[in-house]
Amino acid sequence: MLKDIIESFKNWLREQYPVLIPIPVRKQDIKNGGSHPGLNRYESINLLCVLLISWMMLPGIAFAQSASNGSAANEKTILFLGDSITAGYGLDETQAFPALIESKIQEKGYKYRVINAGLSGDTSSGGLRRIDWLLRSQIDILVLELGANDGLRGIDLAVTKQNLQKIIDQAKAKNPKLKVVIAGMQVPPNLGDAYTKQFREIFPALAKSNNATLIPFLLEGVAGNSSLNLPDGIHPNVSGHTILANNVWNVLSGIL
């Protein structure tokens, strides 16, 4: 019975994230102080569960909990899908701009709940892998903030644009009435003027082709200002996130 449950769960995980590879662990000998005999019968323990929890499950769990808590009030859902900027790298999640947006929404009395699905280091490919999980409950507004890490790594711009389009397509397939907000991003010119320009043009092009709302540049007023960023010079500090929230609110408030 236990073996069947474990195998079923492992198979389900493989279907969700086939890019993650199970890590074999040598079984313990019960005679030498091993643990529960029911577990020692197996040749390996799949550490995929741990990877899933640490890498992806927390945003999904928070999403599911919030969806459950808000469903009784018939609230709509805003999903912020992004990287370390959305996650509020180096800060408490309550200080990140999605939480500040949620506070503004509550002050206005709008019936929306906010889900922060930001993940530090995430790329457009990572977001595409995660979106199916996040769409298991209905999303009414998707704020898409991905692509910056693609640019910093010099990833083929066609791949980045394609991934972002697929995320939008999957979200709209789940909810044809979905509203999409695209956060424009920019990269330093170290990869060349052509790459920098083409990268910047991805976001308005996607907004236009998908009838989405565009935030011209999410980091407007923050990028390059040392007093508004953490010591790494890349991630906004508390004051920086306040400005980011205003940049987002100026656009988002018009479609609530």
For 153, residues 6+ apart whose C-beta sits below 8 A from its C-beta are 123
Neighbour-count burial of 49, counting CB atoms closer than 10 A to its CB (0-12 exposed, 13-18 middle, 19+ buried)? middle
Section 142-162 average pLDDT = 97
Section 134-143 average pLDDT = 96
> What letter would DSSP give residue 208?
H
The sign of the CA dihedral 161, 164, 170, 171 is negative
Question: What burial letters (b/e) apply to 204-231, b meaning 16+ CB within 10 Å?
Answer: eebbeebebbbbebbbeebbeeeebbee
pLDDT at 39 over 90: no
Catalytic annotation, residues: 84, 232, 235
pLDDT value, residue 73: 56
For 135, the 3-state DSSP assignment is coil
Instruction: Work out the mean pLDDT of the chain and round it to a whole number.
Output: 82
Q: Return the axis-axis angle of helices 124-134 and 58-71, rounded to nearest 10°.
A: 40
- Within its chain, how far is the Cα of 39 from the centroid? 34
Nearest to 244 by CA among 160, 141, 163, 145: 145
256 vs 238: CA distance, rounded Å:
25
Q: What is the pLDDT of residues 221-245, one digit of tens each?
A: 999 999 999 999 999 999 999 999 9
The sign of the CA dihedral 150, 152, 155, 158 is positive
73 vs 192: CA distance, rounded Å:
50
37 vs 30: CA distance, rounded Å:
7
pLDDT value, residue 190: 85
Residue 18 sits at φ, ψ, to 5 deg, of -65, -15
**pLDDT band (50, 70, 90) for residue 18:** very low
Domains along the chain with CATH numbers: 1-46 (no CATH), 55-255 (3.40.50.1110)
66 vs 256: CA distance, rounded Å:
19
